[in-house]
């Protein structure tokens, strides 16, 4: 059979073969008691989210009610073909904003499948190398008494899926220089807002702790914030927020990229500023001293943090475009050119949180939050 023609319409969608409005006709059909559980996990590049659906006969009350499952790890570069199973363990349940109703999305992490031991029992679960969640969860458990809170500012760029140029940019040449786009309104400035709005609503519904959105400095670049979240929830909610963004972008046939420097040259890169506080930094009166102590520890471990703060971050952390140089550690009050920025109000109120501006937009939040907790609290 000849391949079907792909027709791009004026809005960049594939028309009329995959008109998203048509899906709506099926969305309200009763499910006859069935629940769709979309299992989501991280694949072999550690940036690729993967998912598949499992149909359940009743809604789970917690992750303990959910079956563990597996997938073909040889297709995600996480296992050899001759022993291809990767085992997935449900860790957090979100409401599914795409299917609605009682349907859920289940965030999982990845293990080697348990093997039968000579005495017939099953071996203990062993994480596979790409599972960064398990070690993060262990560090958060150790630091629980210190109540670590995080808020991550997730910057990203929308790309035209057909030519990979930022959405709304001319096919040749460039839009006008940066200046008008940050927190902008107007069709020439705030490009792709429909996606941002849909993402915000979908995150509310899902139960992702989103706390704000804004247009960024480069046209077609946006930011949303997730937090404050305590402990392991930060990594879980950020990964789920990214999953939701990718799914919404599917509908619009637009691509979201977390590349830290999607356009080289005089255009802002994309970061993943990580805001942090602990019981000690939030303590009335003594918090500012605790923050300064923690910053000293971060300074000593600068190289270790930089190495783990995102692939390609060296293209972004140049010392220009509101970044610090990756080679030097610095901190300052209200300074957007420093590695660590402390808010104006902190030395005044003598307590609060601070911002690690070094992580790139493609940070693995499990890796970054674990390092911050280990360096400052453990």
Residues that bind Mn ion (CB under 5 A): 153, 223, 273
- Residue 335 binds ligand ADP, judged by CB under 6 A: no
Partner from ligand ADP, Mn ion, none binding residue 359, C-beta < 5-8 Å depending on class = none
- Residue 225 binds ligand ADP, judged by CB under 6 A: yes
Of 43, 73, 192, 227, the one binding ligand ADP by CB under 6 A: 227
CB of residue 337 vs Mn ion: minimum separation in angstroms? 12
d(CA 131, CA 141): 17
CB 185 within 8 A of CB 115: no
- Residue 38 binds ligand ADP, judged by CB under 6 A: no
CB 4 within 8 A of CB 17: yes
- Residue 153 binds ligand ADP, judged by CB under 6 A: yes
Nearer to ligand ADP, 184 or 211 (CB): 211
d(CA 16, CA 6): 9
**Dihedral of the alpha carbons of 343, 262, 360, 77, in degrees to the nearest 10:** 160
Nearer to Mn ion, 211 or 301 (CB): 211
CB 37 within 8 A of CB 104: yes
Select the span of 38-46, 149-157, 256-264, 303-311 touching ligand ADP (CB under 6 A). 149-157
15-21, long-range: CB within 8 Å, 24+ apart, which pairs? 20/251
Write out the binding residues for ligand ADP, residues 42-81 only, by CB under 6 A.
none
- Residue 228 binds ligand ADP, judged by CB under 6 A: yes
From residue 285, give the alpha-carbon distance in Å to each of 36, 89, 227: 50, 43, 24
Token pair of 343, please? Answer: 């808010």
Of 189, 253, 268, 277, the one binding ligand ADP by CB under 6 A: 277
Nearer to ligand ADP, 230 or 299 (CB): 230
CB 314 within 8 A of CB 303: no
- Residue 97 binds ligand ADP, judged by CB under 6 A: no
Write out the binding residues for ligand ADP, residues 159-198 only, by CB under 6 A.
none
CB of residue 319 vs ligand ADP: minimum separation in angstroms? 18
Measured at CB, which residue is nearest to ligand ADP? 151
Helices (H), the chain: 20-27, 133-142, 193-206, 233-252, 279-282, 287-300, 302-307, 345-349, 365-376
- Residue 359 binds ligand ADP, judged by CB under 6 A: no
Partner from ligand ADP, Mn ion, none binding residue 305, C-beta < 5-8 Å depending on class = none
Partner from Mn ion, ligand ADP, none binding residue 228, C-beta < 5-8 Å depending on class = ligand ADP
Select the span of 174-182, 187-195, 196-204, 223-231 touching ligand ADP (CB under 6 A). 223-231
CB of residue 224 vs ligand ADP: minimum separation in angstroms? 9
Helices (H), 65-163: 133-142
Q: At what angle do helices 287-300 and 365-376 cross, to 10 degrees?
A: 110
CB 349 within 8 A of CB 283: no
CA 262 to chain centre: 17
- Residue 376 binds ligand ADP, judged by CB under 6 A: no
- Residue 276 binds ligand ADP, judged by CB under 6 A: yes
Token pair of 350, please? Answer: 């003598």
CB of residue 173 vs ligand ADP: minimum separation in angstroms? 30
Of 96, 355, 356, 364, the one binding ligand ADP by CB under 6 A: 355
DSSP percent split of the chain into helix, strand, coil, nearest 5: 30, 25, 45
Nearer to ligand ADP, 222 or 353 (CB): 353
Whose tokens are 């940019």? That residue is 169
Select the span of 7-15, 21-29, 147-155, 193-201 touching ligand ADP (CB under 6 A). 147-155
From residue 232, give the alpha-carbon distance in Å to each of 133, 134, 285: 8, 9, 28
Residues lying near ligand ADP in the complex (CB under 6 A):
149-151, 153, 211-212, 225, 227-228, 273, 275-277, 353, 355
């Amino acid at each position: 059979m000849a391949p079907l023609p792909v027709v791009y319409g004026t809005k960049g969608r594939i028309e009329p073969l995959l008109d998203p409005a048509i899906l709506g006709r099926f969305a309200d059909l009763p499910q006859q008691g069935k629940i769709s559980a979309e299992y989501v996990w991280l694949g072999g590049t550690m940036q690729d989210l993967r998912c598949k659906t499992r149909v359940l006969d009743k809604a789970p009350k917690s992750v303990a009610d959910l079956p563990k499952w597996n997938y073909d790890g040889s297709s995600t570069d996480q296992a050899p073909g001759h022993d291809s199973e990767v085992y997935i363990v449900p860790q957090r349940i979100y409401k599914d904003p795409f299917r609605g109703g009682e349907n859920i999305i289940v965030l999982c992490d990845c293990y080697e499948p348990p093997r039968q031991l000579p005495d017939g029992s099953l071996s203990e679960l062993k994480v596979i190398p790409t599972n960064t969640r398990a070690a993060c969860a262990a560090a958060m458990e150790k630091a629980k008494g210190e109540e670590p809170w995080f808020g991550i500012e997730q910057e990203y760029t929308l790309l035209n899926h057909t030519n990979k140029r930022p959405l709304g940019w001319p096919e040749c040449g460039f839009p006008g220089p940066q200046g008008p786009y940050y927190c902008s309104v107007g069709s020439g400035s705030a490009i792709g807002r429909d996606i941002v709005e849909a993402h915000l609503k979908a995150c509310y519904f899902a139960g992702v702790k989103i706390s704000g959105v804004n247009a960024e400095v480069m046209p077609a670049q946006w930011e949303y914030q997730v937090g404050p979240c305590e402990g392991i929830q930060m990594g879980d909610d950020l990964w789920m927020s990214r999953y939701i963004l990718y799914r919404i972008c599917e509908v619009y046939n637009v691509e979201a990229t977390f590349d830290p420097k999607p356009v080289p040259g005089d255009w802002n890169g994309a970061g993943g500023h990580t805001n942090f506080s602990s019981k000690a930094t939030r303590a009335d009166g003594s918090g500012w001293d605790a923050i300064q102590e923690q910053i000293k520890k971060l300074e000593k471990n600068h190289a270790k943090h930089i190495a783990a703060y995102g692939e390609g971050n060296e293209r972004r952390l140049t010392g220009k475009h509101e970044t610090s140089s990756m080679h030097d550690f610095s901190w300052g009050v209200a300074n957007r050119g420093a590695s660590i920025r402390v808010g104006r109000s902190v030395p005044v109120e003598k307590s609060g949180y601070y911002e690690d501006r070094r992580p790139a937009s493609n940070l693995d939040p499990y890796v970054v939050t674990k390092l911050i907790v280990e360096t400052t609290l453990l």
